[in-house]
Structure 1
Amino acid sequence: MRNLERLTVETGRVIQRRYLLQRLVQQGQTCTVYQGFDQVLQRVVAIKSAAVEHIPAYRAAIRATAQFAHPNIIDIYDLIVEPDALYIVQEYVDGDDFGTLLQSQLSPYHVVDLGVQVCQALMYAGTPVRKVCHGDLTPSAIIRDRRGSVRVNNFALPGDMLYFSAWNNIGGGGPVFADPELAAGQASDGRRADDTRAVGLLLYQLLAGRNPDARTVEPPADGRLRFVRNVPPEVCELVARTIVRQHPQYIATPEALHAELKVLAEALEPPAPPVSSGQLAPAYQVADDAAVRVPQSQFAPARSGRLLSQPLGGAREASHSDADYAPHSDAGHTVMVDQNELPTAFDTSMSSKLAVARQAAYETNAPPKHVNMPLLILFGLLLFALFFGVGYYLSTVLIH
């Protein structure tokens, strides 16, 4: 009741005779988010109001990220400290939150592209100059604007223990957070791995089987990963390698995940729609499932209970026996897709596209061919001597 009364009072208030709190956007555990209006610069802004007990954490996060400037990270404009609250003025992003993206039933390509953009934000923050990890990469930190750009928020805040503990049952458990003795946002190899795994969890939720109107995805109680039918097995395997710490090909850095997601994005990217004369193509378009997704007919029928721990492209022959796909886990956890939900293989054309994309992404450029200048000069001199000799001979014959 007290929180509701506080929200009623806050809406319509002007902070520091400049920022008008227009409407409530979100009520979180540690802060309240409003849509506001900057009356000086005449622009819409987002304003976070943090309660007193969370002020130290938010101030530390702002100090670590105030200089960030990246297209996949939400900008911070101002910080206002009052006796009973802390107000963070940020860029207002008009777009879809994670719950809306879940309801949109994104195609595998758009999910992979979302992962690429989130990794770009993590890579920017983790450069040697900045050395900042996210630490709290939950669904509430993600929003996609109307042009399709993914924007990441809440860098350097303490991690949501409830969220990450619930998802920690996949792949054998282990510590919820690496290096808990470090300050929030401080980079380390363990924390970079935590952020990378958090990206995998986000991608899995967007690809998991769920009700069409679901705005959240609950962690699987049995530790199994279940994907919808139209997800290519290469994408499923990559997500599993990012989430399951015991996977023999576990991905532990944003850079490694970004490189592999880029290969998949290039292979899965749908052809651009034709542009009629006199009409510009939209910067970003979310079409219906039939237009965006890879056609289901490109995949072979589903095999019952295929395990994601099976590396793709191996020499093992296809079999209908579950024993051929023994789970790779020392803790007794099975990472597996639900029966009749995952196709067994890519269409030949899609496999060819992946092979070409991988080769283009990882092959080294051949050294440029250099012209042998001494040989070229010698050849020119020989031609000159030949023409000179012929001319001299002809002139001598004609004169005599």
Structure 2
Amino acid sequence: MRNLERLTVETGRVIQRRYLLQRLIQQGQTSAVYQGFDQVLQRTVAVKAAAVEHISIYRAAIRATAQFTHPNIIGIYDLILEPDALYIVQEYVDGDDFGTLLQSQLSPYYVVDLGVQICQALMYAATPSRKICHGDLTPAAIVRDRRGFVRVNNFALPGDVHYFSTWNILGGGPTPFSDPDLPVGQASEGRYADDTRAVGLLLYQLLTSGRSADARTVEPPTDGRLRFMRNTPPEVCEVVARTVIRQHPQNISAAEALHAELKKLADALAPAIPVPAMAQPAPALAYQVAEEPAGRAAQAQFMPVRTGLLSQPLGASPDSTSLSGAGNDFPTRVDANERMVRPEPTTGASFDMSMSSQLAAARQAAYNEGTPAKRVNMPLIIILGLFLFALFFGIGYYLSTLLIH
């Protein structure tokens, strides 16, 4: 640990005459992470410094994950071994860490979408050609970049014993880790289940009630009950509870199953894309544009799933939903001390035209475009013109003869 503490103050140092350590980003128990600069390729990087006593662990993790290429996983560029430490050069992600996401008070849709992306990273690592579990999926492993992509770090590292032991009170079972005798990062069904539950814990921390707006961390409830913010749809509460509570009769223990559940919720909760009121579409296109938001609005009003876990319908008025983390009865209760956060209703002002009028406008436009104009009889016009010319010519000739004589 003394070597690690010394490294945390050595900003300005250049590693291997290439990577300049600019500032400390994160201090962990086994490593320190810096923002650095690659002076050869002229790009910003992240440099993780691990103390000598942890070199073997990090080298094994890098060997297992060096070839990972996925939009939800932070890439690895270089590995440098020096006498005092091991330096891992990684992709630098400019974005928000998990503490900032907590302070942002994300809506249920964005929390669910975050879970979808984390599951995609776990599913990629678990493919038959890789067979790698994460093992240490804590808040420190999550960053969301400026484009909205969730980036997962720290694959194949030993799990944070303090973190998972503390959160084990929420239906975690007798031990926080499965298959402790296997090498770090080696996959097994139990370890895949641990990673899946870790995703549920992250989602719960973003959705839990009773925390202050400026909190960057969340402590587990001492009574082992799950408490959600009031604006959280019951379906979301249920999926999180099924993931976190191992004893749940419908427990979700695989990333693929959790991904499927969260994807359905994300599709149902996705906000409709508004059409600017000033830009009115053509009549033939008005019905097509209005149809999509109407369909999404219908999706957003999804019906609650009744499995015995939740008895509160969508839009009910209790201040919070509480779920037990122990036993198999999973009771619900109302906590009147929690504060309500209501989402803004969708007005739909851009779509005030009724469906029948839209159809009428579209049909009328189609009729006007498809009705041919009346044809003009050109031969008849030519004959009539010649007749008038001859008539006026004869009258003129007659009058001229009269005037001469």
Matching residue's letter, 2:269: L
Q: Which residue of 1 aligns with 2:146?
A: 146
Matching residue's letter, 1:188: S
Matching residue's letter, 1:232: P
Contact 2:125–2:132 (Cα < 8 Å) also in 1: yes
1:30 is the counterpart of 2:30? yes
Matching residue's letter, 2:309: P
CA distance in structure 2 between the aligned counterparts of 1:326 and 1:54, rounded to whole angstroms: 39
Q: Which residue of 2 aligns with 1:339?
A: 335
Q: Which residue of 2 aligns with 1:372?
A: none
Contact 1:78–1:88 (Cα < 8 Å) also in 2: yes
Contact 2:142–2:153 (Cα < 8 Å) also in 1: yes
Taking structure 1 as reference, are residues 336 and 309 closer, same or farther at Cα in structure 2, changes over 3 Å only? farther
Q: Which residue of 1 aligns with 2:309?
A: 311
Contact 1:226–1:336 (Cα < 8 Å) also in 2: no
**Where does structure 2 lack aligned partners over 5 or more consecutive residues?**
280-296, 341-345, 347-405
Aligned pairs for 1:222-233 (under 5 A) are: 222-233=223-234
Q: Which residue of 1 aligns with 2:54?
A: 54
CA distance in structure 2 between the aligned counterparts of 1:342 and 1:245, rounded to whole angstroms: 29
1:318-368 alpha-carbon deviations (Å, 9 max, x no partner): 9x9xxxx9969548x96656614599xxxxx9xxxxxxxxxxxxxxxxxxx
1:80-117 alpha-carbon deviations (Å, 9 max, x no partner): 00111000000000000000000000000000000000
Taking structure 1 as reference, are residues 212 and 338 closer, same or farther at Cα in structure 2, changes over 3 Å only? farther
Contact 1:226–1:337 (Cα < 8 Å) also in 2: no
Aligned pairs for 1:1-400 (under 5 A) are: 5-8=6-9, 10-171=10-171, 173-209=173-209, 210-274=211-275, 310-311=308-309, 329-330=326-327, 336=332, 339-340=335-336
CA distance in structure 2 between the aligned counterparts of 1:182 and 1:314, rounded to whole angstroms: 42
Q: CA deviation at 1:276?
A: 9.3
Structure index of larger Rg = 2
1:31-70 alpha-carbon deviations (Å, 9 max, x no partner): 0000000011110000000011111110000010000000
Query: Please, what TM-score do these two structures have when normalized by structure 1?
Result: 0.72
CA distance in structure 1 between the aligned counterparts of 2:52 and 2:268, rounded to whole angstroms: 49
Contact 2:77–2:91 (Cα < 8 Å) also in 1: yes
CA distance in structure 2 between the aligned counterparts of 1:91 and 1:27, rounded to whole angstroms: 18
Q: CA deviation at 1:312?
A: 5.2
Taking structure 1 as reference, are residues 138 and 336 closer, same or farther at Cα in structure 2, changes over 3 Å only? farther
1:156-205 alpha-carbon deviations (Å, 9 max, x no partner): 00000000000001126322100001111100000000000000000000
Q: CA deviation at 1:265?
A: 0.1
Contact 2:100–2:216 (Cα < 8 Å) also in 1: yes
1:210-235 alpha-carbon deviations (Å, 9 max, x no partner): 10000000011100011111000100
Q: For residue 120 of structure 1, give the secondary structure of its aligned residue in structure 2.
A: helix
Contact 2:135–2:155 (Cα < 8 Å) also in 1: yes
Contact 2:55–2:86 (Cα < 8 Å) also in 1: yes
Contact 2:49–2:88 (Cα < 8 Å) also in 1: yes
Q: For residue 221 of structure 2, give the secondary structure of its aligned residue in structure 1.
A: coil
Matching residue's letter, 2:170: I
CA distance in structure 1 between the aligned counterparts of 2:144 and 2:242, rounded to whole angstroms: 25
Taking structure 1 as reference, are residues 151 and 174 closer, same or farther at Cα in structure 2, changes over 3 Å only? same
Contact 2:224–2:326 (Cα < 8 Å) also in 1: no
RMSD of Structure 2 on Structure 1 (CA) = 3.2
1:224-249 alpha-carbon deviations (Å, 9 max, x no partner): 01111100010001000000000000
Contact 2:243–2:251 (Cα < 8 Å) also in 1: yes
Taking structure 1 as reference, are residues 338 and 46 closer, same or farther at Cα in structure 2, changes over 3 Å only? farther
Q: CA deviation at 1:7?
A: 2.6
State the identity %.
71
User: Bigger relative contact order, structure 1 or 2, given CA contacts below 8 A and separation 6+?
Assistant: 1
Matching residue's letter, 2:126: G
Q: For residue 225 of structure 1, give the secondary structure of its aligned residue in structure 2.
A: strand
CA distance in structure 2 between the aligned counterparts of 1:6 and 1:246, rounded to whole angstroms: 44
CA distance in structure 2 between the aligned counterparts of 1:338 and 1:172, rounded to whole angstroms: 24
CA distance in structure 2 between the aligned counterparts of 1:200 and 1:23, rounded to whole angstroms: 32
Taking structure 1 as reference, are residues 41 and 218 closer, same or farther at Cα in structure 2, changes over 3 Å only? same
After TM superposition, the structure 1 stretch with the greater mean CA deviation from structure 2, 119-128 or 333-342, is: 333-342
